[in-house]
């Protein structure tokens, strides 16, 4: 019998964790191996076994092409989008386009959706919690990057369904961290959350007053994270090896995976030590001689290679604060979240930027999971945590496949409703079609296509005559709902919103009023 208990899940790019409130205290539930996280890895063995967590992580060392790592960066994304195409080269496994135009993986000749990959990880976390709590868990709060668009959030919900989980709430990671920081402390503070995780970078500004948490603005980059620091360290290791032996390992995917594994460990060591040594035995051979990696890496070398990545994060901080007209000196606390914030140079840059010592009173790797557990327990006990979020990216459309017109601006308080009036755009057609985008770039192609909005049942007339009121409702999780009525009669029209599997969908839809 399923338990009514609700668990919290931090579905991470590199590592994931599950949490719950036990004896009135939020705790991260240990994995089968005794760790507080599991690697967000799914591997398919040659004999048909599906592995996840630490077993899958070990398997990547011998078969990286059939091991899916970092899929959180791609879930819910259009394969042909520029953002996806720019990073495909960094993945060892084969990423393909599914029939809906979304990213998927090709394993052993089969196309597997990224929702299925996420579902395998979620199932493992659900099972870990069920065994630990001795209850059959079927309800969860799942966290996502604040900057996730609508398609990505829906994809996570689908993954939950596939895992047999009823997702009670999709919760933004910085909001979860702020709740972990402020809940039960009777604070009245303005908090800036700097969340640098394994695959994504998020920031949010929240007003915290007693048990009320209100997000003022948010922003980030879903293609900036600790993984990028790992790859910079890998490049440094390869350069040293190539200089020593005049042998390149860049086309050897097994060797590259072995180096990536030790690079992550070395990165962690460099957060507390001035130097470390990378050792990978028997990585290659030359003229019958076995070659090994044994290279000393100094913290300064690593910092020099990653300075630009940290600079990008600070530019995002500056941009978001400027757009929201929030002075730096109005911020009471700077909260560091995510494993990458253990890096001393990041802490220094954050301190210099805000002229304030950042806080990390909660384990940066566990803050999101702890916040998720608190929200989950509130749902279970029907004593809901009072928090409000904002729309992470604007919603808009293109009237001519060239321009981008914003309908609902980013950082709008959720839930939000917006109405626009459109004219019929084709002579004597009963249909209006509009492509809906999400994003804030002035360049149309840089924004994400969410789908095609089709309005059916309008009165036949020459184009530009019929006026249609379109209503957009965005719920507290940034999920869209559409409705439409013909004016002036207010006749209700049929509305379909279908995901779009093309790059550019041309329609001529004049905008009458905003």
Tens-level pLDDT at each residue, the chain (514 residues): 789 999 999 999 999 999 999 999 999 999 989 999 999 999 999 999 999 999 999 999 999 999 999 999 999 999 998 889 988 888 989 999 998 899 999 998 899 999 999 999 999 999 999 999 999 999 999 999 999 999 999 999 999 999 999 999 999 999 999 999 999 999 999 999 999 999 999 999 999 999 899 999 999 998 999 999 999 999 999 999 999 999 999 999 999 999 999 999 999 999 999 999 999 999 999 988 999 999 999 999 999 999 999 999 999 999 999 999 999 999 999 999 999 999 999 999 999 999 999 998 789 999 999 999 999 999 999 988 899 999 999 999 987 788 899 999 999 999 999 999 999 989 999 999 999 999 999 888 889 999 999 999 999 999 999 999 999 999 999 999 999 999 999 999 999 998 755 544 444 444 444 4
Sign of CA pseudo-dihedral 202, 203, 209, 212: negative
Asked whether the beta carbons of 352 and 346 are under 8 A apart, the reply is no
Asked whether the beta carbons of 499 and 151 are under 8 A apart, the reply is yes
Q: Residue 364 has what DSSP assignment?
A: T
> Given the structure tokens 């039960």, which residue do they identify?
184
Q: If we measure between CA atoms, which residue out of 510, 511, 457 comes closest to residue 486?
A: 457
Asked whether the beta carbons of 114 and 76 are under 8 A apart, the reply is yes
Asked whether the beta carbons of 375 and 175 are under 8 A apart, the reply is no
| Helix, strand, coil share of the chain (percent; to 5) | 30, 35, 35
* 195: annotated active-site residue: yes
Catalytic residue, from 115, 150, 195, 477: name it. Answer: 195
Q: If we measure between CA atoms, which residue out of 367, 335, 368 comes closest to residue 354?
A: 335
* 72: annotated active-site residue: yes
Calculate ∠ Cα 379-365-36, nearest 5°.
Answer: 75
Catalytic residue, from 55, 72, 126, 469: name it. Answer: 72
Sign of CA pseudo-dihedral 300, 304, 310, 315: positive
* 10: annotated active-site residue: yes
Say how far apart CA 172 and CA 334 lie, in whole Å. Answer: 17
Residues 6+ apart with CB under 8 A from 363: none
Say how far apart CA 28 and CA 376 lie, in whole Å. Answer: 13
Asked whether the beta carbons of 375 and 169 are under 8 A apart, the reply is yes
Catalytic residue, from 10, 150, 295, 389: name it. Answer: 10
Distance of CA 456 to the CA centre of its chain: 34
Q: Which domains does the chain have, with CATH numbers?
A: 6-224+309-388 (3.30.420.40), 226-304 (3.90.640.10), 395-513 (2.60.34.10)
Here the tokens at position 210 are 């007693």
Calculate ∠ Cα 413-417-422, nearest 5°.
Answer: 135
Question: Which residues does residue 218 pair with via DSSP β-bridges, in sequence order?
Answer: 204
Catalytic residue, from 115, 150, 168, 173: name it. Answer: 173
* 318: annotated active-site residue: no
């Amino acid at each position: 019998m399923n338990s009514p208990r609700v668990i919290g899940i931090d579905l991470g790019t590199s590592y994931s964790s599950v949490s719950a409130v036990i004896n009135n205290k939020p705790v991260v539930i240990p994995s089968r191996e005794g760790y507080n996280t599991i690697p967000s890895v799914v591997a398919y063995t040659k004999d048909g076994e599906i592995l996840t967590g630490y077993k899958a992580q070990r398997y990547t060392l011998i078969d990286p092409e059939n091991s899916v790592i970092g899929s959180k960066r791609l879930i819910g994304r259009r394969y042909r989008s520029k953002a996806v195409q720019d990073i495909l080269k960094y993945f060892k496994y084969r990423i393909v386009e599914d029939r809906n135009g979304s990213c998927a993986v090709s394993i052993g000749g089969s196309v597997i959706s990224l929702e299925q990959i996420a579902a395998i990880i979620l199932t493992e976390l659900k099972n870990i919690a069920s065994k630990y709590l001795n209850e059959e868990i079927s309800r969860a709060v799942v966290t996502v990057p604040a900057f996730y668009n609508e398609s990505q959030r829906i994809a996570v919900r689908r993954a939950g369904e596939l895992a047999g989980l009823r997702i009670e709430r999709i919760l933004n990671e910085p909001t979860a961290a702020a709740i972990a920081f402020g809940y039960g402390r009777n604070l009245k503070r303005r908090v800036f959350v700097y969340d640098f995780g394994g695959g994504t970078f998020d920031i949010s500004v929240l007003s915290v007053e007693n048990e009320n948490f209100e997000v003022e603005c948010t922003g980030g980059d879903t293609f900036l994270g600790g993984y990028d620091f790992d790859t910079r360290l890998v490049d440094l290791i390869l350069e040293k090896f190539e200089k020593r032996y005049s042998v390149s390992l860049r086309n050897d995917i097994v060797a590259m995976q072995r180096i990536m594994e030790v690079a992550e460990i070395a990165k962690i060591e460099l957060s507390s030590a001035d130097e470390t040594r990378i050792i990978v035995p028997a990585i290659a051979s030359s003229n019958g001689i076995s070659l090994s990696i044994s290279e000393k890496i100094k913290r300064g070398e690593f910092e020099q290679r990653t300075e630009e990545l940290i600079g990008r994060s600070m530019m995002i901080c500056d941009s978001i604060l400027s757009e929201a007209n929030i002075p730096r000196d109005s911020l009471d606390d700077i909260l560091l979240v995510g494993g990458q914030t253990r890096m001393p140079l990041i802490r220094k840059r954050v301190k210099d930027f805000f002229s304030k010592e950042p806080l990390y009173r909660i384990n940066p790797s566990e803050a999101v999971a702890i916040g998720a557990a608190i929200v989950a327990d509130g749902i279970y006990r029907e004593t809901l945590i009072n928090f409000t979020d904002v729309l992470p990216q604007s919603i808009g459309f293109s009237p001519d496949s060239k321009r981008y017109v914003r309908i609902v601006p980013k950082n709008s308080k959720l839930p939000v409703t917006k109405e626009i009036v459109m004219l019929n755009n084709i002579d004597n057609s009963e249909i209006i079609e509009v492509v809906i985008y999400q994003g804030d770039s002035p360049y149309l192609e840089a924004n994400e296509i969410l789908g095609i909005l089709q309005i059916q049942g309008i009165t036949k007339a020459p184009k530009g005559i019929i006026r249609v009121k379109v209503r957009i409702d965005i719920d507290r999780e940034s999920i869209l709902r559409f409705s439409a009525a013909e004016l002036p009669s207010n006749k209700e029209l049929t509305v379909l919103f279908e995901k779009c599997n093309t790059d550019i969908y041309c329609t001529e839809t004049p905008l009458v009023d905003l």
